[in-house]
Amino acid sequence: MYVWVDLHGSPGSQNGFDNSGQAGEVNWQQPANIARSISVLKTMAAKYGKAEYADVVVGLELVNEPISWDNNKFSITQSWAQDAYAAVKTQVENENLVIVMHDAFQGAGAWTDVAQKLISDGPKTFGVDMHPYQLFSDADNALTQAEHITTACGWADNLASANAVMPTYVGEWSAATNICVNLDGSTTAGTSCSTYGCQCQSAPFDDWNEGMVEQVRRYVEAQLDVFESSTSGYFLWSAKGPGGWGFLNGIGNGAIPNPVTERKYPGQCGGGKR
């Protein structure tokens, strides 16, 4: 098993989300918090970047999901990332450790210039992480499952372009979408439905019928095809989450292939089985 360590909550909160350790106000880019963030990262790097961990710890992520609006400026985030990268490099013994930066919700392509400054033609020790969920916007929640799959397939080119410059990872993804499945196998957007035999993904996981499992499996396989072909790696969030958020849940009911390279629905994004 390999480990990728990240600073999930940065001083002052980088996003105001509860997963930063402080929901609400975002004060990460205040000078004292920016400096403290780098100090914390140096401590992490000095421990987990040791040579003795080199066969286990393969990456260190500088910060999780910094926003690029409200009190945060993307230009400051990019400047900070370069300073943080340099500071971490002074502490690590493992020369192959990849230092990863979340894309700040700007897309991996927005980081290629930074990567070229930091690694040029040398070892690719700066990488970018993105989290392409499809259930946190009104636009996403208006899609059928077929449209979710089309959207996922559309990520491939941009991911591959970024991955050619720097290691590009999908550090979080999920099987979850807000869809309902009808008896005939068609899907609609939403979290509730009144048609006879219709089931929504919001139903208790243990009650999912074959139609729901099939539709989730289709979506999962499409994403896996893209991530396998166009990135340097991926992590499903999370191992033991509820419903479609749980890797082990999906393995248990067949919504996630086991092994992950197995396909019931190959070629959804074009081409054959990867």
Name the residues annotated as catalytic: 65, 172
- Amino acid making up residue 63: V
Give the burial string for 131-154 (b: 16+ CB within 10 Å, else e). bbebbeeeebeebbbbbbbebbbe
Residue of 123, 239, 137 lying closest to 189 (CA atoms): 137
CB 64 within 8 A of CB 20: yes
Strands 179-181 and 168-173: unpaired
